[in-house]
Amino acid sequence: MEFVIDPPIATKIQKMKQRVRWQDSLLTQRQIDQTRLVLDDGQDDRPDFSFLVIGDSGSGPHRGHNPQRRVAEFMLSHRDACRFILHTGDVIYLTGSSEFYPKNFIEPYREFLVGGDRPRRIAYNQMVFNLPFLPVLGNHDYYDLPLVYSMIAQMTQPLRHLLESRLDFDVGWRGSEQGNAYAKAFLDYLMGLSQTELQQHLNQHYGAQTDTGYALNYQPGQFTRLPNRYYSFRVGGIDFFALDSNTFNAPAPLPNTPEGDVRRRRLEAERSKIDSERMQLLDSASKYNSKNPEDAERLDDMKAKLEQLGEVKKDIDKQLATDETTVTDLEQLEWLQQRLIQSWNTESVRGRVLFFHHPPYVTEATKWHQAQTLAVRDRLRYVLDRVAKEIGPRPQPIVDLVLNGHAHCLEYLRTLDTGHADANTNWIVCGGSGYSLRRQRQEGPELAEPSDRLQPDRARAVAKSLLFVGRNGQGVHKRRPYSFLRIDVKAGSPPKFVVRPFISERYHRQWSDRALEPFEI
């Protein structure tokens, strides 16, 4: 039985549009840009500033310890020096259900919330941040539970007991409702307002004037909502673009050719093997006692493996499900293309940063070769190539930095000559801030791809990993280094970014905190 399901892309797009009343006549008449926010935090817009980055954090306590909370406490020493926090997605595990926001988000990050001294009084859909918290959607923030599972879970306890008590999964009774919980927690949820209420709301919160229209005023301590599932903002001459990669990550259709049929049969066989392995893990888990420290370590490994297999299976499902009607969020990609061109044509802008969930480049063992990874890479290249053609020669890459999550690690990569406009770009994966960590692939730090689609055996290097922090060691010597970033942006054009990685490591059931050597990009 599949524990979680991923809604279709078309459903994600449609539902999110309804929740923010996308291009409602009242908003268009007022020339409101529903993809733009202005940080109204009372600070001078200096060219040198700092921000924090976390991702893939949304789990609760794990058998007496809480990695997410440990990272959040470490972050507190940097709060006053930073203007905002970026979150690269997967705010809540295992499904983005509203019932898990109190334990898996509000409690861990309570010092970053107004009223955080009494976190139990904070409703998930009424959160106000005292430091700007700017997330993007992860795949788990969209996940739902199959109806069959919900019915079984309510009728009998064994499966729920197995998942929660043995493997410590936050499964619950419901899912995200196709991303609805995330929308109510973070977006400016306009659905349900009367015309009069909407007018009053727009008068109060959409007075910021920008070069793309009126924008939402993001006011820490007062009103901290996002205008849309993808959006942009500008700080210190840097344009930040937040994307929803869940709607442009569908793999290309398998061809209706003999080669495509062979590939299809291989994927089906691999999926069956994964199902068998998952059932064996569940059976093995029932034999361990979670109160025994050594057994708890084994169960933690089983949980990580089970979730990892589930993600691999979902990637296979996406490949097998694709057909000639595969949906790609062209509207969002066209928006990104036009806004990047506009950014390059704005004299006061000196740099650009993208952040979204699925990494186009990564060497984490389970994600580097997934079809979704390659799909996102291709679609981002498509956008950047078109921007490059429009703006012509330039002194720096189209974007200075790309931040992602999804892979449960901390990694810094740099692309080589890819033959596209994503060449010589800095990529950082920050997806190790609280959930189960993963290892680096055995194939090494250099990523390659076919240099010719017609000759797949001929490959060329396209990217190289320069730093990888993830699960390592075996047995009692296993280390779990959870992470977050502080990034200091320096004045000047092109801008320089000083990346400061911080690690909270769990080893021998003890915690230790440390800073890694900073590096400049």
Q: What is the pLDDT of residue 162?
A: 46
Q: Per-residue pLDDT tens for 293-306?
A: 777 777 777 777 88
Q: What is the pLDDT of residue 153?
A: 45
Model confidence at 307, in pLDDT bands (50, 70, 90)?
A: confident
**Rounded CA gap, 303 and 310, in Å?**
11
Q: Per-residue pLDDT tens for 57-90?
A: 998 776 678 999 999 999 999 999 999 999 999 9
Q: What is the pLDDT of residue 453?
A: 55
Average pLDDT over residues 436-463: 85
pLDDT at 376 over 60: yes
Average pLDDT over residues 103-124: 97
Which of the following CATH numbers is that of domain 46-137+223-250+328-520: 3.30.70.260, 3.40.50.620, 3.40.710.10, 3.60.21.10?
3.60.21.10
Q: What is the pLDDT of residue 157?
A: 43
Tokens of 178: 């196709």
Domain segments of the chain as ranges? 46-137+223-250+328-520, 258-321
pTM of the model: 0.93
Residue by residue, DSSP assigns 288-307 as S-TTSHHHHHHHHHHHHHHH
Q: What is the pLDDT of residue 145?
A: 85
**Rounded CA gap, 211 and 338, in Å?**
13
Given a contact cutoff of 8 angstroms between Cβ atoms, the answer to whether 446 and 465 are in contact is yes
3-state DSSP assignment of residue 55: coil
Q: What is the pLDDT of residue 74?
A: 98
Of residues 505 and 292, more confidently modeled: 505
The percent of residues above 70 in pLDDT, for the chain, comes to 92
Q: What is the pLDDT of residue 154?
A: 46
pLDDT at 225 over 70: yes
Of residues 148 and 139, more confidently modeled: 139
Average pLDDT over residues 427-451: 94
Q: What is the pLDDT of residue 166?
A: 52
Q: What is the pLDDT of residue 259?
A: 83
Average pLDDT over residues 181-197: 97
Query: Is the link from the previous residue into 494 a cis peptide, with omega within 30 of 0?
Result: yes
Average pLDDT over residues 169-183: 84
**Rounded CA gap, 241 and 177, in Å?**
26
**Rounded CA gap, 144 and 95, in Å?**
6
Average pLDDT over residues 308-327: 78
pLDDT at 51 over 90: yes
How many CA atoms lie within 13 Å of 367's alpha carbon, on the beta-carbon side? 26
Q: Exposed, middle or buried by CB within 10 Å (0-12, 13-18, 19+), for 39?
A: buried
Of residues 9 and 259, more confidently modeled: 9
Average pLDDT over residues 393-418: 97
Q: To 10 degrees, what angle do helices 330-344 and 371-391 make?
A: 40
Tokens of 40: 């109204």
Average pLDDT over residues 212-236: 98
Q: Per-residue pLDDT tens for 463-499?
A: 999 999 999 998 778 899 999 999 999 999 999 999 9
Neighbours of 69 (CB within 10 A): 19
Q: What is the pLDDT of residue 168?
A: 55
Tokens of 183: 């929308």
Provide the 8-state DSSP code for 392: -
Nearest CA-CA partner of 59 in 5, 116, 97, 85: 97
**Rounded CA gap, 151 and 282, in Å?**
20
Given a contact cutoff of 8 angstroms between Cβ atoms, the answer to whether 359 and 406 are in contact is yes
Nearest CA-CA partner of 121 in 138, 107, 109: 107
Nearest CA-CA partner of 407 in 97, 116, 56: 56
Model confidence at 433, in pLDDT bands (50, 70, 90)?
A: very high
Specify the range with the lowest mean pLDDT, choosing from 82-96, 153-167, 308-322: 153-167
Q: Per-residue pLDDT tens for 498-511?
A: 999 999 999 998 99
Given a contact cutoff of 8 angstroms between Cβ atoms, the answer to whether 261 and 224 are in contact is no
Model confidence at 165, in pLDDT bands (50, 70, 90)?
A: very low
User: ∠44-48-52 over CA atoms, to 5°?
Assistant: 95
pLDDT at 169 over 60: no
